[in-house]
Amino acid sequence: MQLYLFLLTLRKAANDHPIGNLEITSSLHGDPLLNSKRSFCSALIWDISLKKQSQMRYRILMRLAGCFTLFTQSSPLTAHSCMKFLVHGSIAYDLLLSYDGSFVDALDPKALDRLSVSYLMPRFKRHHGGTGANIAWNLRLLNQDPVLVGTVGSDGGHYLSLLQGRGIDTRFVQELKNHSTATAIIATDTAEHQITFFHPGADAHGKLPDLADERDDLKMAIISPRNPVLMLNAADQCRELKIPYLFDPGQQSHIFSKDEFRRAVSGSRGLVVNEYEWELALKKLDWDRKKVLDACGLLIITLGDKGMEISKNNEAATVPAAKPDKIINPTGAGDAARAGLLFGLASDWPLKQTGRLAAIMGSLLVEQEGTLLDSLERETIQEIAMENYGEELPF
């Protein structure tokens, strides 16, 4: 029945678009696709004969393939809710270090100009990460259709295969064989303070793709931390193509000039920052809170275990954090929250419910080591919503 519904959808799309006839047959090699909630299209081989090859056909087929899990997974959404999001950001390998104690204890505020410290890290893990990849991954967990824009190096092939296996569109991810994939070294103490060192690798040499042909399919975009030049170019491109976008500068704020930062924020649908980044942004923009809201209309400040503040010119919501069962590592929680924000905003949810979804997504990430959740069910989201907020979310 699921496969039949998908074929009907594909047939309808072929009839609705003037792209010529599609001759479609399918062959199933075994039955794992229909029996596994987490399988994507790897078990399904489509033999598609197109009378005329075109980029339009490819985009439609990828859109349908991206939504196919709605028919094969236990999904929090209905089929009509599959939206396409443009995700700009880094694709990186994360080296995660854990410190028993507080980084602050080793710092002398009076001697910061002579800083020289060392921390013993008893735990070390290597994971897939990067802001863009993390956000795209979490959008897929919400059964959405992310288009990832980023760069990997000669060691990024396995990571791309992992993303593609989850149904993430990586057509606009560059592979630069003369460079390595970006790497983040992230140290976290027991108070959840973090120190990050980031090597951009291939992303320092990336280029922005032409996305004009994608415009009509895109619901919304996010520009998250990566090569600062490409972030600014992406903001310019989104404005030119009239793609609504969230600007998520991270700790890149200090790199932008005041005029560059103002231009990126002014053309956006909203600014997303954490508490520390908000202070950096205020100094760099040289604006107060009201001017930020006048420029972009939406301000989201994540506050860690205190939740988040979401403000519009005529509306505001303070959303408490969703309490995790345990805290392992906060790395990636902000990216998961941003996927929840994108979903809620694009779905026209009220600010409070949008923030709650974001908080729930973030809470799930801190319960594990690594930034990529293996799976996510509607029942899990709604149970956490009931436990923390007393009501379910409006899926």
Residue extents of the structural domains in the chain? 2-73, 81-89+129-179+202-389
Give pLDDT tens digits for 309-349.
999 988 999 999 999 998 887 778 999 999 999 999 999 99
Give pLDDT tens digits for 156-205.
999 999 999 999 999 999 999 999 999 989 899 988 888 989 899 999 99
pTM: 0.79
Give pLDDT tens digits for 197-232.
989 999 999 999 999 999 999 999 999 999 999 999
Task: Determine contact, residues 172/147, Cβ cutoff 8 Å.
Answer: yes
Is pLDDT larger for residue 14 or for residue 25? 14
Query: What pLDDT, on the 0 to 100 scale, is given for residue 5?
Result: 47
Q: What kind of fold does domain 81-89+129-179+202-389 have according to CATH?
A: UDP-N-acetylmuramoyl-L-alanine:D-glutamate ligase (3.40.1190)
Percentages helix, strand, coil for the chain (3-state, rounded to 5) are 45, 25, 35
Whether the predicted pLDDT of 261 surpasses 60: yes
330 backbone φψ class: left, alpha, beta (φ>0; ψ -120 to 50) = alpha
Query: What pLDDT, on the 0 to 100 scale, is given for residue 71?
Result: 39
Task: Determine contact, residues 121/97, Cβ cutoff 8 Å.
Answer: yes
Is pLDDT larger for residue 124 or for residue 63? 124
What is the 3-state secondary structure of 162-211? HHHHCCCEEEEEEECCCCCCEEEEEEECCCCCEEEEEECHHHHHCCCCCC
Whether the predicted pLDDT of 59 surpasses 90: no
Task: Determine contact, residues 299/310, Cβ cutoff 8 Å.
Answer: yes
d(CA 54, CA 198): 39
Q: What is the mean pLDDT of the chain?
A: 83
Is pLDDT larger for residue 126 or for residue 360? 360
Residue 117, SS3 per DSSP: coil
Tokens coding 76: 């929090």
